[in-house]
Amino acid sequence: MRIHHYEKLWLIIGSLILIIFLSILAVQTFVLDMGPPSHAETIDPQSVRESELFANTGLQEVGDKEYEIAMIAEMFAFRPGDLEVPVGSTVHFTLASPDVTHGFKITDTNINVMVVPGHISKISHTFDESGEYLILCNEYCGLGHEYMANTITVK
């Protein structure tokens, strides 16, 4: 079988790229011991609503302009609802879902996490600019998906 030399060149380049990428992945996995942070903290989806962690759903001041909040993402709302924090506040979000996979996205920030049933998602953000930020679910979760939207007001 004759292979045109351009085709041969592309096969070699393609194979080399694949080998390089797989090598990087292998080094990250086995040498640097890197992996997705899943399984870090788990929770039984059936007990999310009754759990102590999510019982006190509200902003808790834990320091100077530092807040913690445990939120439940469920069909089809985020609990608690709209939030309000002063400018410059750092908010530590802890999230869980009692039903299906939801998304937790806050517009104009880097916050964008999946809330997977059985897992606890944690993310923090410092709100340096005032305004009204939209919190929304960006994982299609059912017929009421579009109603999953709250706001966090920073002023």
Q: Which residues bind Cu ion (CB under 5 A)?
A: 102, 137, 141, 148
| Min separation Cβ 117 and Cu ion, Å | 11
Query: Which of 96, 137 has the CB closer to Cu ion?
Result: 137
Task: Please state, in angstroms and rounded to a whole number, the distance separating the CA atoms of residues 91 and 106.
Answer: 12
Torsion over CA of 99, 105, 106 and 110, rounded to 10 degrees? 140
Q: Write the DSSP symbol of residue 8.
A: H
Query: Which of 53, 75 has the CB closer to Cu ion?
Result: 75
Q: Write the DSSP symbol of residue 27.
A: I
| Min separation Cβ 150 and Cu ion, Å | 11
Query: Which of 106, 137 has the CB closer to Cu ion?
Result: 137
Strands (E), 34-130: 60-63, 66-74, 77-79, 83-85, 89-96, 102-106, 112-115, 121-127
| Min separation Cβ 72 and Cu ion, Å | 11
List all residues 6 or more positions away from 22 whose beta carbon is below 8 Å from its beta carbon: none
Query: Which of 94, 101 has the CB closer to Cu ion?
Result: 101
| Min separation Cβ 102 and Cu ion, Å | 4
How many CA atoms within 13 Å lie on the side-chain side of 98?
15
| Min separation Cβ 93 and Cu ion, Å | 15
Query: Which of 73, 154 has the CB closer to Cu ion?
Result: 73
Do β-strands 121-127 and 131-136 pair in parallel, antiparallel, or remain unpaired?
unpaired
